Copies of this chain bind each other. A is one copy, B any other.
Amino acid sequence: MLRNDYPGQVCSIAKSLEVVGERWSLLIVRDVMNGQRRFGELQRSLGVARNVLSARLQRLVEEDILERRAYQSGPERFEYFLTEKGLDLWPALVALQGWGDRHSTGPAGPPMLIVHKGCGGAVSDRGTCESCGEVLNARDAKALPGPGVGAEELAPALATAASSSDC
């Protein structure tokens, strides 16, 4: 585990990474934020081994980032929803997306745009609306396909964007 010899540094970052500092965890949070709530959806989206996904979901539930709600019995099946603590990860995801957009995006532009539901303005990498200036949170924003998404990919992207309003 992580040593903590320099607790005066910036160790809330270390604490955060203890919980979500592993690629799958943040991508699971991203997917649930975009409306993919079921094990099979998450498994197909991420291409992660089922046992790994199962362990990560359990950890995220234990850490009060996700909560699961049964949507079917016999056999019992669950959907995953973000808690307030999970929704609070939105600024970190937006910042990481902005960094990727700036440094890893191809010439076609970013694959996804985040827009303010209220006024339709673009959301900055600081999670603020570039149009009206409001400081936003997860529930205030939605994802739309960006110019870097090919036409053949628009359908699932739009479906994702539509469902993200359930967050």
Contacts and interface: CB of A to CB of B under 8 A. Distances in A.
Interface of A: 2-3, 5-19, 21-23, 26-27, 30-31, 34, 44-47, 85, 88-89, 91-105, 110-112, 114, 125-128, 135, 143, 145, 149-150, 153-154, 156-158, 160
B12 A101 contact: yes
B5 A30 contact: no
19 contacts: A3-B47, A5-B44, A6-B156, A7-B153, A7-B157, A8-B154, A10-B34, A12-B96, A12-B97, A12-B101, A13-B97, A14-B27, A16-B104, A18-B23, A22-B22, A22-B23, A89-B99, A91-B95, A91-B98
Contact of A12 (B110, B128, B153): B110
